[in-house]
Chain A
Amino acid sequence: MSKTRTREQGDGEVAALDQLAREDAGSRAQFLKMVGGAGAAGALAIFVAACGGDDEAETPSGGGSTDTGGGGGAASKGDIAILNYALTLEHLESAFYQQVLDSGQIKDPKVGDVAKSIGEDEMEHVQALTATVEQLGGKPAKAPKTAFEDVIAAGAQKILETAAAVENLGAAAYLGQAGNIKNKEILAAALSIHTNEGRHAAVLNQVVGKTIVPDGAFAKPATMEEVLKSVKPFIKA
């Protein structure tokens, strides 16, 4: 279907991950400099953007409860950079499921349903993070060019194992940033995505016959460097 998503503008500022993948040196400072847009404080409406029509119960805290007051802390450049880092990963995941579903490689309808619902979640994460970065006055990271062809050609098992690996990595990536996020509302948003990624990771582990909790009772975080190194094979330079 819509295979050609937002790949076109490969000009100007290259997507941050592309750049990093090329240079190999995962210096965090450099990464932050690249992805950090103009920092500006502002009201964050990630949940407004995101929480449309799920089967959650009614939102108990109502509409006008969060007026960004209460010591939430302004969104710093660092927060925007973290959001863009997360956005890049979500772009990658979202593109992967899209390509997997388009390929028709997954024949088991139950597994297909799981992949579809995960893909939907990732797409919502992309939308919410993009909107949030924009609202904060930053420039959202672009979708990287992906390199999943070999994985997809290898068939369902390889696809699911890769999906599991990427989801476990994604969950670890969010966990690794929690302590770095300054603004409380951004932290709340990141946490709400973090556990969603944890759900994906465990379910895919279960599907491929691995333990649902690879780190045991306490999930381990991953640094930006670790994450970028691991996703590098899936990004086209």
Chain B
Amino acid sequence: MGKFTEDDLKKDLETKEYEYGFYTDIESETFPIGLDESIVRAISKKKEEPEWMTQWRLEAFKIWQSMTEPEWANVHYQKPDFQNISYYSAPSKKPKYDSIDQVDPELLDTFRRLGISLDEQKKLAGVAVDIVIDSVSVATTFKDTLAKKGIIFCPISEAIREYPDLVKQYLGSVVPQKDNYYAALNSAVFSDGSFCYIPKGVRCPMELSTYFRINQAGTGQFERTLVIADQDSYVSYLEGCTAPSRDENQLHAAVVELIALDGAEIKYSTVQNWFPGDKNGKGGVYNFVTKRGLCETRAKISWTQVETGSAVTWKYPSCILKGDDSIGEFYSIAVTNNYQQADTGTKMIHIGKNTRSTIISKGISAGHSQNSYRGLVKIHARAQNARNFSQCDSLLMGNLCGAHTFPYIEVENKTAKIEHEATTSKIGEDQIFYCNQRGIETEKAIALIVNGFSKEVLNKLPMEFAVEAQKLLEISLEGSVG
């Protein structure tokens, strides 16, 4: 993987030089704090967007101004001051550190235990990397392979300029500007994100990962992702990184829209490991995300997520099963430790006939954390023979944490078949002692038990990701018993 990184970075630097070559003060350019119409216009201008896009953002901004921040989630936090945030910061081309010795050793130790190569460690921590001139650039090969199949995979800002018809047609089609408070905010100010289009009948030959996308190694504060799978196509998309992301931005409000046209399949996997705050609950990222997919006839969308980071998480990757015979799946592991709070789950909206959905949610709570599953299964009147199976399991460690389940079921058609199973269990001293007696130390025993508990979901992740996610679970729960 090291080679990818270096080539990526090399390209990265080259492109930036080119792109921003006319600006002299680029390194220090950050917008003043606060949000008003002029800031929205300025972001759009920075991104060299066409007028329709500027208007779309302004519309969203107006809507956002008329909305109030929602309070129904089972989380408690100090509300962000939206006038105290800077909404645009030019990517700095200057590395944060000159050498790896300057990086927080604790962070490096975590990288090492996650099995991340030294080059990647440097990149993730923002260390200058020596640019090695390699005979064949893997990144280029990667791009070529995709281009031959007609697959578009690029930053969303590039797509707005290069593929306006596709963006115009689909942006906001699944998550409209007015969908919710944070979606409206995102629509007005997003500055980062990915765009992906898979043409008719094409099976994307590799897993698409933001990791490979030039210019987009870091995660933006307001990310916007749009994935379109045309008829009978297939794509597997990986988002995030197991490496801990230390970010100065406290508020993250991303929007992800997936469109699976007739017979298409999208598999979207996420590993989220943002800074959860310290042991006393200080600091940490607020992660308020809207993720939704639309399935046309015979289409399938599968969300798999492993959530271990953030101080407060508010996230419900959902499927609108509009087409007949379409399928929605949601597999989730959410880990909370110390003072983390997570309110996460899914919505399965059955509109078409013979639509099917599966929900497997595994919540693991430790420390003083609170972990809630919130899910909606809705069967519309014309959704003949819709089926849903939901399973929500909670695992508790210690006596100070909480696990909550809020399942909502709304059925308007008598032919629906819905099953809901829920369990709550606690890691027992007897289980730990049993493992100890076999020579397995307590930390490892917990990891073993947690991995066993999460297995059904881990199995849904692409192989490499699954191995990393397993290690991540282990690290996230370190020191939680003891």
A and B co-occur in one complex: no
Name B's A-contacting residues (CB within 8 A).
none
Name A's B-contacting residues (CB within 8 A).
none
